[in-house]
Amino acid sequence: MVKVEGGGNTSPFLIEIMSRRNRNKTPQRSVIKSVSEIKGSPGATQLLPYNEPSSSYTKEVERIIIPHGSDNLFPQSVSYLLRKSGYQNGIIDSQTVYLAGQKITFEDKALDELVHECNSEESLHELSTKFFKDYTSFGNGWIQVLTDANRTYFSLYHQDSTEARIGRGDYEGYCVLHPNWADYLKEKNRLKTVKMWPEIEETEEAGVYASMIHVKDYEPEFKYYGVPNWLSGLDAVSIGYKANRWNISRLDKSPKPGGMLITDAEFESEELEQDFREKVNKNYQGEGTTGEMLFIKRSLGEGGKDGTQFIQFNDTTDADWIELKESSIQEMLVASNWAATLAGIETASGFDTSRILNEYNVKFSSFIAPRQQVFLNTISKIGRKFGIDTSTLEFVNRPPVPDEPDVLLVWESRKMRGLDFDENDPRQQMTLAELKSNQKFKDETTTIQKIKNLFNSKK
């Protein structure tokens, strides 16, 4: 909680359902179209112009919100897919780590509460980590601001992007929250709303006011929700996901390629024949059509042979899967604007130190720093509303391997590492080269003294 000068000690409370506003403007937009076998799981996701809703669920939801995806479950589909895709999830996790940095520092002491306790449970750095996780995963980040009627304090909370939607109709101008949008029709009573920034409105908790800030990754044609940059590599993510499922299937069923099963005569009934086919496929068919059988019936004696025969098809897909997976990983990295070494993905050259540093420097300029600035700008926007200058806030970033020139002063090195420093301390005024030289001299002196002591002890 951050107190504003002259303010009291009001504590923040959780947000409950807020008052509604009756407006009936119908916005025009493009959305991400999600086609799912089951709600919340990705069957296929395409970027298509918006179509009229085809289900009673979507029609009902569209009365109160702008759907995120044609079935309003695009964030849930993304979450499901990322949990099943080790490489893409690893890329996003590594991006989150580098975006959040080591910590957030400041020079203005008035920012101490904001940095160390932006709410009753988290520091600003902890909040930023959750924000960046959502921002890189979904292309959207949400931060909730709590205050009182006199704006004597404010607290900042992260809001889960899978729950947040932009309101319309009676809820226009609000962020609409629900913990389980897939079952919204059965759980309408769990709906909550928060006024969208910069408006601040009182909640049902007496004396507690709230506002929600929406930060989105820009994408042309998408006015209401952001689009994650890795989405252009969705097919590559799907290849990795399906390759893993195919391999698991091969392990479960053991390597059993498809084949041709020739059976004698007719079955007594179609039901028995269907039951036979289902049992064979259940035991031998793997993921998708892997191990699928071709059934052929013949009359007794036909072809000069009797009895059931199985002719196995040769399986030569292993190399294809390996090549597909390798190419899909590269496409994921390109789509995500990330580097293999930073995600812990081994390359042909291994983890070469100079390459790691070069890739880090490139991604810091093109990916990390711009997104950190987006977060700092958002915090600055909030600070201005409450008369607080946040311009001295900055992230402490460290490369994955040391990269400090010897001409750097000790206090500069400590500052870069996020450690306590004192630029007026004479001991921290020497360069790293001098420090290393002094340490080497001390080590050599210590070694010589030890040799002398050993020699004297033997006399």
Asked if 214 and 38 touch (Cβ cutoff 8 Å), the reply is no
Stretch 241-264: mean pLDDT:
65
pLDDT for residue 145: 98
User: 243: pLDDT confidence band, cut at 50, 70 and 90?
Assistant: confident
Given a cut of 90, is residue 93 above it in pLDDT? yes
- 161-175, 213-227, 246-260, 381-395: segment of lowest average pLDDT: 246-260
pLDDT for residue 294: 62
Cα–Cα distances (Å) from 45 to 12, 34, 41, 238, 381, in that order, read: 39, 5, 10, 10, 34
Asked if 362 and 355 touch (Cβ cutoff 8 Å), the reply is no
Q: Which residues contact 152 (CB under 8 A, 6 or more apart)?
A: 3, 4, 6, 7, 8, 10
- Burial call 337-368: b when 16+ CB within 10 Å, e when fewer: ebbbbbbebeeeeeeeeeebbebbeebbeebb
Spatial separation of the C-alpha atoms in residues 451 and 436, rounded to whole Å: 23
Given a cut of 70, is residue 397 above it in pLDDT? yes
User: 49: pLDDT confidence band, cut at 50, 70 and 90?
Assistant: very low
> pLDDT of 351-391, one tens digit each?
778 888 899 999 999 999 999 999 999 999 999 999 999 99
270: Cα separation from own chain's centroid:
50
pLDDT for residue 25: 37
User: 43: pLDDT confidence band, cut at 50, 70 and 90?
Assistant: very low
Look at the pTM and tell me if it is higher than 0.75: no
Stretch 75-83: mean pLDDT:
90
pLDDT for residue 47: 34
Stretch 329-335: mean pLDDT:
93
Cis before 198? omega within 30: yes
pLDDT for residue 8: 46
How does the average pLDDT of the chain come out, rounded? Answer: 78
Could you give phi then psi for residue 62, rounded to 5 degrees? -65, -15
> pLDDT of 129-164, one tens digit each?
999 999 999 999 999 999 999 999 999 999 999 999
Spatial separation of the C-alpha atoms in residues 403 and 6, rounded to whole Å: 45
Spatial separation of the C-alpha atoms in residues 424 and 196, rounded to whole Å: 46
pLDDT for residue 456: 58
Q: List the one residue out of 38, 43, 47 whose CA is nearest residue 139.
A: 47
Torsion of CA 41, 332, 131, 412, to 10 degrees: 160
User: 274: pLDDT confidence band, cut at 50, 70 and 90?
Assistant: confident
